[in-house]
Structure 1
Amino acid sequence: MRRERHTDSHDWTFTIGHDELVIHQRYEVLSIINDFMLGLWFAVGSVCFFFEGGIKTLGVWLFLIGSVQLLLRPMIRLHRYIRFKQLPDTDHDA
């Protein structure tokens, strides 16, 4: 029995060998990945503060990266709701 697939044009599809990975709701997936990485940066950065020297500096950098990612969250959500569309060229002045 053969099934026809209808994927949304906004889905991401990756072919890996004989398998196909389809990611639905890509903005939601981006938001989840961003949140995961954000938690990772802050967790590792917090551990780095237990030590002196260069590793403490690494902690400061990870906190900075996490802070920048906090700014990405609303941008991902906003991009999900607002999409720019290329309009056809209507300038026919010769």
Structure 2
Amino acid sequence: MSLFHLDNRNRSDKHKKIYAYCEIAYTIVDVSAAVLFVIGSVLFFREETTYVGTWLFLIGSILFGLRPTIKLYREYFYLRLGDYEDITHQ
């Protein structure tokens, strides 16, 4: 099993379930970050709301940082299902 290979998601029903949950989490994080960035951008138009806009940008940035974390989480749980001997032979 190669890490981050597209075929890993179809190796078993458990792999499919992990993939589905991670895709849902990834999409939720993506949409949330985008919404926070848009709202934060609008708040930058007025000086009195810039502080809140800055916080929304920070939270959106953190969410964008979660995106690769979700993929690592998914690959970790694929490995826990077994068949990881050939990872070192890539």
User: What range describes the TM-score normalised by the shorter chain of this pair?
Assistant: 0.5 to 0.7
1:47 aligns with 2:42: yes
Q: Which has the larger radius of gyration?
A: 1
List runs of 5+ in structure 1 lacking aligned partners: 1-7, 12-23, 86-94
Q: Percent same amino acid among aligned pairs? A: 38
Alpha-carbon RMSD across the aligned residues, in angstroms, is: 2.1
Match of 1:80 among 74, 80, 85: 74
Higher relative contact order (CA 8 A, sep 6+): 2
The ranges of structure 1 where at least 4 consecutive aligned residues each deviate by more than 6 angstroms after the TM superposition are: none
Give the number of equivalent residue pairs. Answer: 66
What letter is aligned with 2:46? F
Query: By percentage of residues, which structure has more strand?
Result: 1
1:37 aligns with 2:32: yes
Under a length normalisation based on structure 1, what TM-score does the superposition of the two structures give? 0.62
List runs of 5+ in structure 2 lacking aligned partners: 1-12, 81-90
Deviations 1:12-45 (A, max 9, x none): xxxxxxxxxxxx7100000000000010000000
Counterpart-to-counterpart distance in 2, 1:67 and 1:34 = 11
Under a length normalisation based on structure 2, what TM-score does the superposition of the two structures give? 0.65
